[in-house]
Chain A
Amino acid sequence: MIRTEEMLLNVGPQHPSTHGVFRLVVKIDGEIITEATPVIGYLHRGTEKLAENLQYTQIIPYTDRMDYLSAMTNNYVICHAVETMMGIQVPERADFLRVMAMELGRIASHLVAWGTYILDLGATSPFIYAFRDREMIINMLNELSGARLTFNYMRVGGVKWDAPEGWVDGVKEFIPYMREQIKGYHDLVSGNEIFLDRVKGVGVYSKEDAISYSLSGPNLRSTGVKWDLRKDEPYSIYDRFDFNVVTKETGDCLARYHVRLEEIEESLKILEQACEQFPAEGEILAKVPKIIKAPKGEAYVRIEAPRGEIGCYISSDGKKEPYRLKFRRPSFYNLQILPKLLIGENIANLVAILGAVDIVLGEVDG
């Protein structure tokens, strides 16, 4: 007779499938998980505390380091919060540059999510393809901002640098290329039987659970909630573009996989339209005071980052530093549902479920 007993298994904090320094203490009975306790905070740098002694422009580089896979949206959210408070109108060209940078960032982020997810499930080569294509985006963003990951590109009132000569053409050329690549991705992975067995019907949660657990982004849309802040609470110039909000109904890992891949295509649509409408010239920075002081009061804004809803709360007492700054980090919220999903699952599914949540630990820990 086989004797089984409860076992405590420690996953992480140094484990490749946790995508960073994330620790998961799981109790397993045989191969079945009976309890899972996430332990986070290894990457906590106290951004919010530091920000209380920094001027608004000085905070922007810190946001690069939260979700370092899509730093552009993080840059945007703090600028957007301050602009909302001060009522600054961003010049059109700057808005276009911002949107294009953010959408390129979204594609890059989803490419990492896709590549590493497949890598977690055991296939190595898709990861290489994803990073090859991501590299092209990184190069474009590098041309724009001078940095590959920590862009520090946006400013309150606009952007720091104008697009270099021919940059928009480069983006234009990239769009059809990327569309072709996505077809290749589907050929490579989406129909693969082993892959489907690992993800189909795994890690399912309902629409109600998703909402109750404050999930957002692809994690929410995979359950059929048609909600995208770019579409439903348009900020910047997103209301000028025609794109779809991708939803899937099943709420499993496969649904999240497809939502991300299809969102790449939607982002390409936005990029295509943005390239067409891109104003030939114009200011890239609104007229803002040298010392930015948000008016006294508080504001909370939220925008759609690749991982969900990123929010920024500023409480200002009229000084040049925020009195209190708080980021709503989507990965932090999205990860909450993990213990619930893991209970009763096979230990082998742990990685599949965690990978599909698509977290960035810099963001989880703030």
Chain B
Amino acid sequence: MSGEKDLDQLKREAAEKAKAAALAKRQAKAAGESQGAPKQEDKPSEQALNQDEKPAQTAQPAGTPAEDGADLAKKKAAAAAKAKAAALAKKKREGILEDEAPAPVEAAEETPVAAETSDGDDLAKKKAAAVAKAKAAAAAKRKAMELAAGTTPAEETPAPEAPAEVEASDDGDDLAKKKAAAVAKAKAAAAAKRKAMELAGGEAPAEDTAGATDETSAKAAAAAKAKAAAAAKAKAAAAAKAKAAGTGDADTAAAGDDEKAKAKAAAVAKAKAAAAAKAKAAGAAKGGDVSPGDTADQPSPNQPFLEKYRKVIEENLGSDVLEDSYINKLSKDVPTLVAKKDTYFKVAQFLKYNELLGFDYLSELHGTDFVTHMEVYVHLFSYKNRQSVALKVKIDRDEPTIESLQPIWAGANWPECEAYDLLGIKFTGHPNLHRILLGEDWVGHPLRKDYEPYDVEV
């Protein structure tokens, strides 16, 4: 932890002055937020004052507990680190990569949220599973989302109040861990149930009864899991439990009912900030399991390029050649175009020969078996415009056939052979499609998910 702090300081030293402006801006924002919840703010700020007095007053307090949060998260909630990382990644994408100084702020804003979120998420997951059994899955999902998104902003939306909670939850967590262990040992499912009730009541008061009971059952399931795990490796379950309990404890310890109400009121008052945080939290929540990095509120630096490609393609080839197009935030913001099966070749050809696009270099081509369908992924690059684009196409898995790109890019020759060899995708128009790696007598396509090794003796 201290090491990271050192690193941060080092980095801060290294950061240029110009970037201080960004920091100030962020501070102003954070300060604006912190006014809503002054009480919680006190706690971390004493700690903060020790290391960093004036400028980073809001930034630093947020930063320090965030480290705790990250540590905690590392121990218990992998997703927290992920979210923190996601925040940093986002920074990177925003092009503020060099000014690490404000990074802690962002991290603080997000880490605790994510730590909590992951709880919510875990819960939601379990809950969803439980509900799926009893109810329609769709409803469960909606509810899960509600829980994940609903609890997070209400309790720890803005940066300043989050630290207090995390700090508290650190203590509460140890306790919770012991508790969880005890529970696992004694196999006291009833206790877990009670706790679940408590938690359900404490954490999501807005939840309706159905939600609460669902959660209870989820809790029971968790307890059962803890039990089972205790026999062998209680770690994961216990951690999940501890986490969940930690949240509950933290709620009672740090933010009593009053404070929570206050926090909630503050959240309402700070509708704007909360909305942003919510989006972020939602993003983080999704990030844990669904699709991370979809911080949709931040326009990607590559957005104009995507617009341009889309526009040029639509103008020349019609509006229905692309199935989808988006920025893949996980993949260094590469603009991604999903072509239809029958327009794939046309789009590829256009991408290379259109003067505005000029993607003359095929960096990579491969296929993937997604069980429901096959997908061919092509990464193209334009040396003229110094821009990348990813082109994807979904093809039928039972009869995976697609046009070859070899006539357009000679470099697609072997990669297509490889995709044919390992996945069985047939590229029509390829001059010499053969099993390039395994040899012609090989049976089956190993990278298919249902591949069974062929053995003559069996």
Contact = CB atoms under 8 A, between A and B. Distances in A.
Interface stretch (A58-66, A87-95, A128-136, A184-192): A87-95
A86 B437 contact: no
Given A46-B446, A289-B78, A213 B328 contact: no
Contacts of A44: 437-438
A336 B11 contact: no
Contacts of B79: 289
Contacts of B84: 87
A299 B328 contact: yes
A70 to B, nearest CB: 19
B86 interface: yes
Nearest to A289: B78
Contacts of A298: 328, 330-331, 377
A315 interface: yes
A128 B241 CA distance: 62
Contact of B86 (A86, A301, A309): A86
Contacts of B290: 296, 318
Contacts, number: 180
Interface in B72-120: 73-74, 78-79, 81-82, 84-90, 92, 100, 103
Interface in B237-257: none
B7 A91 contact: yes
A48 B419 CA distance: 12
B289 A287 contact: no
A80 to B, nearest CB: 10
Contact of A297 (B6, B330, B438, B446): B330
Interface in B351-379: 360-364, 366, 368-369, 377, 379
Interface residues of B, number: 64
Interface residues of A, number: 60
A328 B363 contact: yes
Contact of A300 (B379, B386, B438): B379
Contact of A283 (B7, B73, B412): B7
A287 B10 contact: no
Interface in B281-307: 287-293
Interface string A32-65: 0000000011001010110000000000000000
B318 interface: no
B291 A297 contact: yes
A212 B292 contact: no
B4 interface: yes
Nearest to A284: B3
Contacts of B422: 48-49
B92 to A, nearest CB: 7
Contacts of A227: 383
A232 interface: yes
B10 A92 contact: yes
B334 A300 contact: yes
A366 B421 CA distance: 13
Contact of A212 (B11, B360, B363, B437): B360
Interface in A272-325: 279, 281-283, 287-293, 295-302, 309, 311, 313, 315, 318, 323-324
Given A89-B88, A92-B10, A214-B361, A300 B390 contact: yes
B360 A365 contact: no
Given A89-B88, A289-B74, A84 B330 contact: yes
B81 A297 contact: no
Contacts of B390: 300
Interface string A12-50: 000000000000000000000000000011001010110
Contacts of A93: 7
Contact of A309 (B74, B100, B328, B363): B363
Contact of A293 (B82, B334, B418): B82
Interface in A114-159: none
B81 A288 contact: yes
Given A287-B81, A301-B332, A282 B6 contact: yes
Given A86-B292, A301-B332, A326-B366, 6 more contacts: A87-B292, A211-B361, A212-B411, A295-B291, A315-B368, A365-B437
Among all A-B residue pairs, the 6 with the closest Cβ atoms: A87-B89, A214-B411, A289-B78, A295-B292, A87-B85, A299-B331
